[in-house]
A and B are shown apart, each in its own frame.
Chain A
């Protein structure tokens, strides 16, 4: 992949190229990263439409319901954004390690532990002023997630244990551990039907953000995505991580601390995922309970892959999937479809977008270094299907 990208950069940087062509080359290179995934997502929706048609349901009705249930009214949009907030954090837990070549799919465990740590930290902090206690609670959550997912990175870097499998096993262990603590030592005796921890208390709860009325997790998630983007694409640390992800041997020869980079970026990803759990407890639920394992970690994997591990692209994708999941209830009621409908759609989207990886670098339109082979400036032609 890296080898393919190199010549196009050289072509653009070659001195003497007319400015118009340079701009067109820049556009072409960047359009590829938008057109292919968007096209793949559209194809995924079309395939799902065929699936619905085969079952005698109307795909157009589905589109209308998703629009109405996810985006069409201020209430629906708020609901979608509320669901998008944890997805932002969960997707970062996949996207940051992915730049180092690790496929981490255990974000769900970090979310649950983050929520649990929030609730546990609130008890000894009771009576403290909120401006002191709130960051401490968030810090406790982030620490729990960083240790949990950082351990996955450590195992991969220093013990050669596959991070994909290890992270998912760790996620199951985290959920079992959380269930044990919520139903045992940390249980609020007053929670009878639905075992929960003691509430964090109104003083430590986060209110909604001004104007849009969605909790602060959304704003912090957006900031986290921007931080992750700057870290990955604009700092030497991120550059070193990308080298290590592209070619470990080359990175080692350059003297880059590959092991520490892996541990650092997995730990950061884990801290972000745990913050999703923090906001679920401190802004939505008020206590840690079984609903923490609501599947945000798994949807986050999909978000990260649909966004092609780009932190900036995670934001629109998370809102889209948040909207689809928010309209799930309406799909069930209005179309008499099972709740797994959304799961089928997500699986199809995932497959098609991964398959589209094979298309990068295949279209002459998007690859300026191929233009010179024909003639200097080929006018923009329709995208070959």
Chain B
């Protein structure tokens, strides 16, 4: 089967993998972009992602509808996001530390309530076979694109446009760049940040739904391996730009697909090292895009990360 493709299997599997693996990165990074543009950082999206994955899977098992699962995942993520936004509105509460606490809390809740759902199987989210024209099963597999991926792509364009051209986008950016200016204009800074963190949580929760309902498509306690946190680093790399988030998510997805792709052609040596590729890539990009003598270009002025 793969004999006629030879080594071409690897790039093909990586393209397919990039599309498959990137969706959670995309949703979490778009959510984090909204949150960080308001001047707060939510490191807890890793926990939100896991809780979203559990909520989606559990709901889909109980109701039989994957879309109900996506909705509940968004809801659960939104609640965690609002909790972060609410707690951080008190003076002297550190948003980075709260994020770490929520990472623990969200993961804990997900494992706690997710125990009964490890065995049963849930209906998966539908995918569109863009590769139906080809006879090759590898091409067909690579081009099966999930609906959520397309929704995420559309959302990144909409967010990019909305941040520049809508009133809400402008308010968000003012709050993120200078809380004092926003207060002078009469905006309630804490409320804008609360909404932005809540919205970020909703998107991260939906990203989790993709994990459990499509790829890898099951619920277990190892479902997320730091994607939520890598997505936060990805936002920095993408310079808080939703369109760049889309590209960066594809790149990360491709890196994540490298290990399985090489394994599929029989390269099993150093499997764990290939598995680390996305982390190494993230770190390398983080180092390359940081600079010792100036703040990060394009960073919201209020962000504790860039101060």
Interface residues in chain A, defined as those with a beta carbon under 8 Å from any beta carbon in chain B? 1, 103, 105, 155, 158-162, 164-166, 168-170, 172-173, 176-177, 179-180, 183-184, 298, 301-302, 305, 337-348, 350-351, 354-355, 357-358, 360
Contact = CB atoms under 8 A, between A and B. Distances in A.
B97 A358 contact: no
Contacts, number: 138
B133 interface: no
Interface in B83-139: 83, 87, 90-94, 96-98, 100-102, 104-112, 115
B272 A166 contact: no
Interface string B272-292: 110110011011001100111
Contacts of A172: 225-226, 276, 279
B104 A302 contact: yes
A351 B105 contact: yes
B232 A176 contact: no
B270 interface: yes
Interface of B: 43, 83, 87, 90-94, 96-98, 100-102, 104-112, 115, 225-226, 229-230, 232-233, 236, 269-273, 275-276, 279-280, 282-283, 286-287, 290-292, 296, 305
A347 B108 contact: yes
The secondary structure that dominates the B interface is: helix
The secondary structure that dominates the A interface is: helix
Nearest to B111: A340
A159 B292 CA distance: 4
B267 to A, nearest CB: 14
Interface centre among B91, B269, B282 (most CB of A within 10 A): B282
A308 B276 CA distance: 33
Given A165-B286, A350-B105, A358-B91, A176 B112 contact: no
Contacts of B286: 161-162, 165-166, 169
Contacts of B282: 169
Which 8 A-B residue pairings sit nearest by Cβ, starting from the closest? A347-B105, A343-B108, A340-B111, A176-B276, A350-B101, A180-B272, A344-B108, A358-B90
Interface centre among A165, A173, A180, A183 (most CB of B within 10 A): A165
Contacts of B96: 103, 164
A160 to B, nearest CB: 5
A194 to B, nearest CB: 16
A303 to B, nearest CB: 12
Contacts of A355: 87, 90, 93
Contact of A176 (B97, B115, B272, B283): B272
B108 A169 contact: no
Given A160-B291, A180-B271, 8 more contacts: A103-B100, A164-B96, A169-B233, A169-B286, A343-B111, A355-B90, A357-B93, A357-B94
